Chains A and B, each alone.
Chain A
Amino acid sequence: MKTVKIILVVIVSLAWIFVTTFNLGPLGSLGELTTYKTGLLSVPLQNDGIREITSDHKLNIYVDDIGIPHVYSSSKNEAAYGLGYMHAKDRYFQMEMISRIVQGRLSELLSAQTLKSDKFWIPYEFEQKSIELLETYKKEEPEFYAYLQAYSDGVNTYLENNENTDPLYKALGETPRVWKTEYSLLFTWYMSWTLTYFDHHIEQQELLAELPEDIRDYFYPLQPDGMNTILPSNTVPPSVNVPNLGLDYSATASVETPNDDQSLFNLGDKLMSNHKFYQGIGSNNWVVNNAKTKNKGNILANDPHLYLTLPEAFYEAHLVTDTFKVYGFTIPGVPVIVSGHNDKISWGITNGEWDLVDRYKLQVKEDSLYLNDGKWVPFEVENYTIKVKGKSDYIQEHKSTVHGKIIKEGDDQYYAQHWYAGNKSNSVKAMYDVMQSQNWDEFTTSLRDYSYPPQNFVYSDVEDNIGIVCAGELPERNTDYVGQVLDGTKRYIPAKSLDSLWYDFNPEKKFLFSANQQPIQNNIYFGAHGLKDNYRAKRIHSLLEGNESWDVQEIQKMQTDEIDISFKDFKELMKNYTIQDEYTDIVKELTSWDGNMSDEANQALLYEILRNVSIEQAKQFANTKLQVNKEPSLQYFLKYLNDKEYTIPGGDNKQEIVNAIFAKTDSTLTHRYGNQWKNVSYNTMSEFTISNIMFIPGLGEKIENIGGNTNTININTETFHPVFRAVYEINDGQIQAQTIMAGGQSGMINSKHYKDQIEPWKKGQYKTVQFVNNPNKLENIKNIIKFN
């Protein structure tokens, strides 16, 4: 009996040891995390108060009650040092994670589950490119080089004395790695991947190959009439033909590759989930000049939209030196303000959504040779070693051609892909110049050197000027290039960038805006902006045009506007067609509605289902009637249904399509909510969760009671939301800012600033920015760090 007891004790104990030592994904085990010294209890909280640090650097940092650092120093480099210190203090884990992603070194920190990410990134050799770029700056831009170095010193000063301050490092059983100066240059590639790595060319090729021109222009117009472009259509830069780029019209549609890298948190998949640009990505910025405002000062607004995480992508900071003063949003790891203001100018950004990817169809034999310029050329094969925490190294075999990396679609079709934004980017240096600019000339001169990711920069200054610049390097492609799959058998000649700056300055209409729409109406190909709905841009344009007396509160209200104007097209649809009696409830509800996608509205729920069902019908229409994979955008599908004069060749029963839309909407409503669907509010559909940067379950934040959809200014899609909202007003020659972030200043889960701005962000509230020359005038300072 005693022996049985002992055996039982041993078995139970071994089972317990197994359970408590089993690692929770990339994190430590339950035993490790709950034991004092190895666990989370040993990570101290950061204290408020005054801290003095002996240093060669002389500066003071005042941190306010929202966690925003106000750095006061005598020189730019000291300010960079202070910003580096604060970035490390609040966001070092994020900085290390992103820099490792771009280097292809994430598995060194998080083990095999992030191999998928490393396998994608490592062949681009961004680590080496960042070192080379920094060397170039050392020789050619010593002032900027010193600035980056000072920032790096600030980061490492914090790390040297604070290894154990972030619970995430503790949970991973790791310590922060030393920051190298070149890491600051890695971030533009990460942002470029998020904002430009869209490859829709196989779908586009299919449209070009399968559809007659008139049908293509009707449903998929690349230069649609009536589009509210960013710039007026009178600026056409020089364009050069590149005759070697032959077009291939024989490609077939892409088949999505299934994910095969499963793990507890699926971190690798989540990190690599990018989206096509027409799938709801979006940002807004606009500016109205002093003639359109109540207080006779320009007002500029900016709300970029990205995939939200905690911490989010941006970090607010205020730098004051003898030579420049600047306030705004930085990307942790990069010592520049990307959206903000100084004492003379303010600026804001949206993504250009330019097409920076080329796809080439290859002729391949023996899975190793491709035809190029009449010769069979072997694939270039490079082996990359990926270090994996706790496991042996992984060897990544990377195959490429002169056109770019090889992608195999389906069983036997080879393509090559070239991503222009994978080139070296001068954007950090350009933004360094932008934040010091004092007027339009300096601003535009700075942006001439901006490369990737292309952004629309809206501008305002204390001299009452407004402007907008669509900045970035646009490849100089063949004049008839509109996103086709290119012929990979032709000789490769690299496309240079167009030498032109796209801008508008002090327009007669007294306002400017961008909402990721097409920059200009001309024959230059920027991207497939015409393939997506234009409702958001139209809404912004109509609001800005319709009010001649704006104030800050109205601009803020506009940033949280939740009107979906696509509803007007549906109203027309309901007028044009006989809706069957059984769906009169739906029609009745929508007839009395104003298109407001408020979270409380039942009509908003009904409409969102109707809209989604219509998109499904558009897909079905594309597949069955047009025989292509890509559906027309909703606006062109509705235009077709409302068009009494045009029907596709061979005829079409539009009434049947409309009947199907309403039938499916009705069945979806009753299936999801039963017969009581009229009592259900939109909130049940519109809520979403902001995940932690590591996608650790429970560390995110569920956002309820929020409205909006993909067409509203206050965008709310499955994946993209406003990361911050900022309004910059010129008042008596001073710039006064109001801002709010979708998260908080700190990336540390144990910080009170981890998500303290979410609630006001959700409610559309703002905080007033403190932008003062004298630190004694700062209010609500909780923490002072003095370096002397």
Chain B
Amino acid sequence: MKKILNYLPYIVVLIIQFLIDNYTIILISIILIGFIASFKIERKKVFLKSFVIAFIVFATIFLMYQSRVDYIKDLLVNLGLSSAFIYVFFPLLNALNTAILFFFGYKIGTLFTKKKGMSKEQAIEIVG
């Protein structure tokens, strides 16, 4: 159960990207979730975990739907780039974006807990 809770924020930031149709709200939500998560999740390799999970999910989604954006390959070639950049633009950039935003919120959160002089356990008590 604890493990599930530990990974829940990483999953939630992905789910909202499939539900919300407004990028500003998505952006703020990811940062906010990262912020709240800082009080709850294990403070180990947060950025890496976030990036790897996001990349696996987005790469899977991209492979499922890449025919929808095949024209981007033409666009890249016309701009003198390799069509392989499509994998950078979609799964990689999306995963990186998610990880950075999440980590940003998380770091702000850790700053907050440190300033208050709270331990992680205290923070968890307050938030949860």
List B residues 73-118 near A (Cβ within 8 Å).
Answer: 74-76, 78-79, 89-90, 93-94, 97, 100-101, 103-104, 107-108, 110-111
**Inside 8 A of A36's CB, which chain B residues have their CB?**
17-18, 58, 61, 94
List B residues 15-39 near A (Cβ within 8 Å).
Answer: 17-24, 26-27
CB distance from A309 to the nearest CB of B (A): 15
Chain A 18-62 near chain B by CB (<8 Å), digits 1 or 0:
001100000011111011111011011100000000000000000
CB distance from A784 to the nearest CB of B (A): 22
Interface size on A, residues (CB 8 A): 36
A17-B27, A750-B70, A754-B71 given; A38·B22 CB < 8 A = yes
Q: Give the distance in Å from the alpha carbon of A324 to the alpha carbon of B61 in the complex.
A: 49
Contact, CB under 8 Å: A37 / B17: yes
**Inside 8 A of A40's CB, which chain B residues have their CB?**
68-69, 72
Q: Give the distance in Å from the alpha carbon of A21 to the alpha carbon of B61 in the complex.
A: 22
Contact, CB under 8 Å: A34 / B100: no
Q: Give the distance in Å from the alpha carbon of A699 to the alpha carbon of B73 in the complex.
A: 10
**Inside 8 A of A29's CB, which chain B residues have their CB?**
23
Which of chain B's residues has its CB closest to A30's CB?
A: B93
Chain A 750-772 near chain B by CB (<8 Å), digits 1 or 0:
10001000000000000000000
**Inside 8 A of A44's CB, which chain B residues have their CB?**
68
Q: Is A6 interfacial (CB-CB < 8 Å)?
A: yes
CB distance from B23 to the nearest CB of A (A): 4
Contact, CB under 8 Å: B21 / A16: no
Contact, CB under 8 Å: A749 / B21: no
Contact, CB under 8 Å: B103 / A9: yes
**Inside 8 A of A699's CB, which chain B residues have their CB?**
71, 74-75, 78
CB distance from B20 to the nearest CB of A (A): 6
Which of chain B's residues has its CB closest to A44's CB?
A: B68
Q: Give the distance in Å from the alpha carbon of A29 to the alpha carbon of B103 in the complex.
A: 20
**Inside 8 A of B107's CB, which chain A residues have their CB?**
6, 9-10, 13
Contact, CB under 8 Å: B97 / A28: no
Q: Give the distance in Å from the alpha carbon of A32 to the alpha carbon of B72 in the complex.
A: 15
Contact, CB under 8 Å: B65 / A41: yes
Which of chain A's residues has its CB closest to B20's CB?
A: A37
Q: Is A177 interfacial (CB-CB < 8 Å)?
A: no
**Inside 8 A of A37's CB, which chain B residues have their CB?**
17-21, 26
CB distance from A42 to the nearest CB of B (A): 8
Q: Is A649 interfacial (CB-CB < 8 Å)?
A: no
Q: Is B7 interfacial (CB-CB < 8 Å)?
A: no
List A residues 678-711 near B (Cβ within 8 Å).
Answer: 696-702
Q: Give the distance in Å from the alpha carbon of A557 to the alpha carbon of B67 in the complex.
A: 38
**Inside 8 A of B71's CB, which chain A residues have their CB?**
167, 699, 749-750, 754
Contact, CB under 8 Å: B89 / A34: yes
Which of chain A's residues has its CB closest to B111's CB?
A: A6
**Inside 8 A of A698's CB, which chain B residues have their CB?**
74-76, 78-79
- Set A6, A21, A34, A749: member contacting B27, Cβ < 8 A: A21
**Inside 8 A of B78's CB, which chain A residues have their CB?**
697-702
Q: Give the distance in Å from the alpha carbon of A32 to the alpha carbon of B61 in the complex.
A: 16
A9-B107, A37-B18, A37-B21 given; A31·B97 CB < 8 A = yes
Contact, CB under 8 Å: B97 / A20: yes
Q: Give the distance in Å from the alpha carbon of A670 to the alpha carbon of B95 in the complex.
A: 52
Q: Give the distance in Å from the alpha carbon of A9 to the alpha carbon of B100 in the complex.
A: 9
Contact, CB under 8 Å: A17 / B101: yes
Contact, CB under 8 Å: A38 / B100: no
CB distance from B96 to the nearest CB of A (A): 8
**Inside 8 A of B100's CB, which chain A residues have their CB?**
12-13, 16
Q: Give the distance in Å from the alpha carbon of A593 to the alpha carbon of B14 in the complex.
A: 66
CB distance from A37 to the nearest CB of B (A): 5
Which of chain A's residues has its CB closest to B65's CB?
A: A41
- Set A9, A31, A32: member contacting B104, Cβ < 8 A: A9
- Set B68, B94, B108: member contacting A750, Cβ < 8 A: B68
Contact, CB under 8 Å: B74 / A28: no
Contact, CB under 8 Å: B17 / A13: no
Q: Give the distance in Å from the alpha carbon of A17 to the alpha carbon of B96 in the complex.
A: 11
CB distance from B95 to the nearest CB of A (A): 10
A37-B21, A38-B21 given; A13·B104 CB < 8 A = yes
Which of chain B's residues has its CB closest to A5's CB?
A: B107
CB distance from B93 to the nearest CB of A (A): 5
CB distance from A496 to the nearest CB of B (A): 51
Q: Give the distance in Å from the alpha carbon of A433 to the alpha carbon of B99 in the complex.
A: 62
Contact, CB under 8 Å: A35 / B79: no
Q: Give the distance in Å from the alpha carbon of A17 to the alpha carbon of B26 in the complex.
A: 12
CB distance from B74 to the nearest CB of A (A): 7
Q: Give the distance in Å from the alpha carbon of A620 to the alpha carbon of B19 in the complex.
A: 65
Contact, CB under 8 Å: A38 / B67: no
- Set B22, B72, B94, B101: member contacting A13, Cβ < 8 A: B101
**Inside 8 A of A45's CB, which chain B residues have their CB?**
67-68
CB distance from A188 to the nearest CB of B (A): 32
**Inside 8 A of A13's CB, which chain B residues have their CB?**
100-101, 103-104, 107
Contact, CB under 8 Å: B90 / A34: yes
**Inside 8 A of A696's CB, which chain B residues have their CB?**
75
**Inside 8 A of B18's CB, which chain A residues have their CB?**
36-37
Which of chain A's residues has its CB closest to B98's CB?
A: A35
**Inside 8 A of B97's CB, which chain A residues have their CB?**
16, 20, 31, 34-35
Contact, CB under 8 Å: B26 / A35: yes
Contact, CB under 8 Å: A35 / B70: no
- Set A38, A700, A749: member contacting B26, Cβ < 8 A: A38
Q: Give the distance in Å from the alpha carbon of A754 to the alpha carbon of B90 in the complex.
A: 22
**Inside 8 A of A21's CB, which chain B residues have their CB?**
23-24, 27
Contact, CB under 8 Å: A10 / B104: yes
Which of chain B's residues has its CB closest to A3's CB?
A: B111
**Inside 8 A of B69's CB, which chain A residues have their CB?**
40-41, 167, 750
**Inside 8 A of A12's CB, which chain B residues have their CB?**
100
Q: Give the distance in Å from the alpha carbon of A9 to the alpha carbon of B111 in the complex.
A: 12
**Inside 8 A of B74's CB, which chain A residues have their CB?**
698-699
CB distance from A164 to the nearest CB of B (A): 9
CB distance from B58 to the nearest CB of A (A): 8
**Inside 8 A of B70's CB, which chain A residues have their CB?**
750
**Inside 8 A of B61's CB, which chain A residues have their CB?**
36, 41
Contact, CB under 8 Å: B68 / A34: no
Which of chain B's residues has its CB closest to A2's CB?
A: B114
**Inside 8 A of A32's CB, which chain B residues have their CB?**
23
Q: Give the distance in Å from the alpha carbon of A30 to the alpha carbon of B92 in the complex.
A: 12
**Inside 8 A of B76's CB, which chain A residues have their CB?**
698
Q: Give the distance in Å from the alpha carbon of A37 to the alpha carbon of B17 in the complex.
A: 6
Which of chain A's residues has its CB closest to B95's CB?
A: A34
Interface centre among B17, B23, B78 (most CB of A within 10 A): B23
Contact, CB under 8 Å: B23 / A31: yes
Interface centre among A20, A45, A696, A702 (most CB of B within 10 A): A20
Q: Give the distance in Å from the alpha carbon of A39 to the alpha carbon of B100 in the complex.
A: 18
Which of chain B's residues has its CB closest to A164's CB?
A: B21
Q: Give the distance in Å from the alpha carbon of A137 to the alpha carbon of B57 in the complex.
A: 57
CB distance from A548 to the nearest CB of B (A): 47
CB distance from A8 to the nearest CB of B (A): 10
Q: Give the distance in Å from the alpha carbon of A216 to the alpha carbon of B83 in the complex.
A: 57
**Inside 8 A of A31's CB, which chain B residues have their CB?**
23, 27, 97
- Set B94, B104, B110: member contacting A35, Cβ < 8 A: B94
Q: Give the distance in Å from the alpha carbon of A44 to the alpha carbon of B103 in the complex.
A: 32
Q: Give the distance in Å from the alpha carbon of A32 to the alpha carbon of B23 in the complex.
A: 6
* 9 cross-chain CB contacts under 8 A: A16-B97, A16-B100, A31-B97, A35-B94, A37-B18, A38-B26, A41-B69, A167-B69, A699-B78
- Chain B contacts to A: CB under 8 angstroms: 17-24, 26-27, 58, 61-62, 65, 67-72, 74-76, 78-79, 89-90, 93-94, 97, 100-101, 103-104, 107-108, 110-111
- Top 10 closest pairs, chain A to chain B, by CB: A698-B75, A13-B104, A32-B23, A698-B78, A698-B79, A38-B23, A749-B71, A34-B94, A9-B107, A16-B100
Q: A38-B20, A40-B68, A750-B68 are in contact. List 6 more A-B contacts (CB 8 A).
A: A13-B100, A29-B23, A37-B20, A41-B68, A699-B78, A749-B71
